[in-house]
Structure 1
Amino acid sequence: MESVRRNARRRRTRVFYYNRQIIYMDLWKDGERVKTAGFLKREETDRGLRWQMGIRGLERTDTGFFDLRDETGALVDKLLLQKGEGRYERTVAWETETRGGRLFGEICGLRAELQGGRYLRGSWKLSGHPEPLADRKTAEQEPQTFPDEQIPEQTPSRTASSVLGEEDAGLKEGRLKAAKQQDVVLQPVFQEDKWEQLKQMYPQIHPFGDERMFLSITPGDFVILGQEYQRLVGNSFLLHGYYNYRHLILGRYPEDGGEGRFYLGVPGVCYEREKMAAEMFGFEAFEGKTEPAQEGDFGYYMKRVRI
């Protein structure tokens, strides 16, 4: 009977693997780095790979299909740019080969040739996965515990660690703490206007030095957001800003004939690299005390939400 129970527990045990890297795609000209022109979000699971690339800020004449090659020069795919901007997404199984005959999982660098001696380039270190199929079958038979995310060692100057930092123990602890705080059911006295109700519950601040009022909140308060936005409690960019500045902001922008538009703000500094990371994690725009914001200005990366 005991052996039957052990086997049942093993069958219920799900072994999974997940790893994520964010790699900056730099623009080079004649062998010299010019600037950061985009990013590549690379995700690994036990089933395969997913690439999401975003490119912007190139010349408007950079329009058309450009060869996307790996670090050996072998063709991977075509990258479509329109007036200096473009996106590329690809989800593949581990055994999928590129146009040049290499496995996607073996690639550790990408390069796209542009005109005039310019090119885009990004590189990363492989994580050592996937495991051989035989090893995976063995692993499925024995229960194991994996962390939520296994972040591989990355090159500091060219990965998102230069913006977000590694997700250290303190950040993970804060994420768990915020998640636990969300378990508390909010039971305030209901009023006709939920926003007026929230104004009585949270500190009011004026972060932009004008008449606009925002609420100062924490990730543990996300129970006040619409259900689809409560998952932001695990957003790495948001947590990075919160643990640097110890607050977030929530504000309402008036809208004719409606309750208004609500925006969540993460504190940060206006740098091109940080703006790209913010966009990667779903934040739409940067807002500071002066418009347009200048490089180095303090402000907030904003995302529209629902309460």
Structure 2
Amino acid sequence: MAGIKRFITYIYAYENGTKGINAGFAKVEIRGNECRIEVHLRGTPIRMGMDQVYLFKVEGGQMLAFPMGEMRMIKGSGDYGTIIKADQIGGSEYSFAEMDGMVFAGEEGAIAMTRWTEGEPFTVKTENIRLWEPQRFDVGGTENQKENEKNENIAERATAERVNAEKVTAKKTENPADKNGENAAEELHATEMPMRNIFPKFVWVDTWERFKNTYPYFTLPEDKNVECVRIELKDLRELPRKYWYLGNNSFLLHGFFNYRYLVLGKLEEDKWFIGVPGIYQQQERMMAAIFGFPEFMTTDHINQFGYWYHTLDE
């Protein structure tokens, strides 16, 4: 998958297998082995709660689904974004090139779907979604044992890569007092992590210096004491684990996909914040507050550009 590939695909609501209204769109960008997906849903039958997001491959008249994450829905609307490896979808042996579309499954059978390929027909219902699982075999298996073992190892290796990436920083600063319940915490999804900081304070300084040496550094015009660096969405995983949930925050994702960056800033000693670029408007202020970014720093008084920010370690 060399080069860059971009496309937009429209999403439709479905009821009892029947295609309904246009419910939004998804943007897909593949750059090398990195696949960026941005989704915006509006007016879907998925009214409230968490919407499960899947990529799928049509197989045997069913949607073989690969879980991508969850999207919070409010009054039928929601936004979602993620970055994945294009050659290994959901820890499987399948690549993005083999995917046929995306499906969004909510509560009580509510569903929305987009398909960007033509071919085998299928019925769009939640009961027609089959989750992908790595193939397994018995100890005294058949001649397909080696192939099954290969598929299983691919999935396990991908899972191990994700877990190891999350553990690297934590391992360097492991606190013996935090070992109780550590295994249970590791099994939780990032959005479900206990709200506790397992990183000592001095790691903030190390992380801050590393960001300053890696990314563009600047100070805000009206206050030279406020230092900032531009970071990317993936860099949220460099922060203490209790802040990883911000990677699923709809307001933050909306700002990131509009401006292609976020801000990690330092207000004062041991006081950091995450900033989302945007324009100060009354409606935007209300949305920012709802999603946990109640404060705004203006960098351009004429155009009202600045950063909505959420303080850390507060």
How high is the TM-score relative to the length of structure 1? 0.39
Structure with more of its chain in strand, by fraction: 2
How high is the TM-score relative to the length of structure 2? 0.38
Who wins on radius of gyration, i.e. which is larger?
1
